Amino acid sequence: MMNMTDTVKQLLIINVLFYIGSYFVPQSYDLLSLHYFESDGFKFWQPITYMFMHSKQTLLHIFFNMFALVSFGSALEHFWGPKKFLFFYFSCGLGAALIHSGVDYYEIHSLLDQIQNTTITAADINTILNTKFDDGNQFQGKLLYENAQGIFDKLNLVGDDFRILFDAAIKNQSNAVGASGAIYGLLVAFAFMFPNAELMMMFIPVPIKAKYFVPVIVFLDLFSGVTGLSLFGGNVAHFAHVGGALIGFIMMWYWKKNQFNQNRWDR
């Protein structure tokens, strides 16, 4: 394996510090994670800071992201230099946030369009969508009703309308964390630059060339995002992964087409 490069090492240290810090300052997790942009919890810095936050439910999330960062990022920084590498990394992370948020927007508004009660106002919907209704582990329909009971009773929102608002509120209050979107961009770049390098998935101990391995991984995320049948466990932002990969692909295609490597950045 190639030695860890300086910028990758710094990103690794920052990610670990953020992860440890989120335990000592619990409020930071909510403040720095990526919230849906129409929710009350959204802050303008979150499309950047979410890349340095990771799930506190399992060490595997940060472990696999950092392992991939070191493995693929070091190779790319070695050939690109730090400035081009950082530009690519953050572009893919921001692109992942944008596409993830765009899918959330589509899904939330598709749900709200199904509400049959014509007396509910935009203010009522905003209040319901931003009402806290989790017990610390999962969202609870009972808590949503109790905490916004005045609106539900006033408008007689029951049955399908309650279910729609419950589903929309979950999406509105769910947040995204992790470097995965940026990492997927690195995977795509690695496949562009080293298409015949052999990689292995943990559950398939057979070497697969990068030019086949990476498209399969991205397709599995796209499949899970579209169907809801997650192959990677629960609470995975599949469209953030796909978004990072897509931005990475577009940038690599553009750079290759315009022979970007001949116009080297100041390293």
Listing DSSP states for 148-200 in one string gives THHHHHHHT--HHHHHHHHHHHHHHH--B-SSHHHHHHHHHHHHHH-TT-EEE
Q: For the segment 34-44, what is each residue's pLDDT rounded down to a tens digit? A: 999 999 999 99
Q: How far is CA 4 from the centre of its chain?
A: 25
Residue 136 counted as domain residue = no
Mean of all residue pLDDT scores within the chain: 90
Ramachandran category for residue 259: left, alpha or beta (phi over 0 → left; psi -120 to 50 → alpha): left
Residue 79 counted as domain residue = yes
Per the structure, how many domains does the chain have? 1
Does position 231 have pLDDT exceeding 70, yes or no? no
Residue 148 counted as domain residue = no
Count other Cβ atoms within 10 Å, centred on residue 70: 19
Residue 21 counted as domain residue = yes
Residue 83 is part of a domain; what is its CATH number? 1.20.1540.10
Q: Are 66 and 15 in contact (CB under 8 A)?
A: yes
What are the tokens at 22? 């989120």
Q: How confident is the model at residue 158 (pLDDT cuts 50, 70, 90)?
A: confident
What range defines the domain where residue 192 resides?
A: 6-106+174-262
Q: For the segment 4-29, what is each residue's pLDDT rounded down to a tens digit? A: 999 999 999 999 999 999 999 989 99
pTM of structure: 0.90
Angle 36-129-106 from CA coordinates, rounded to 5°: 50
SS3 assignment, position 53: coil
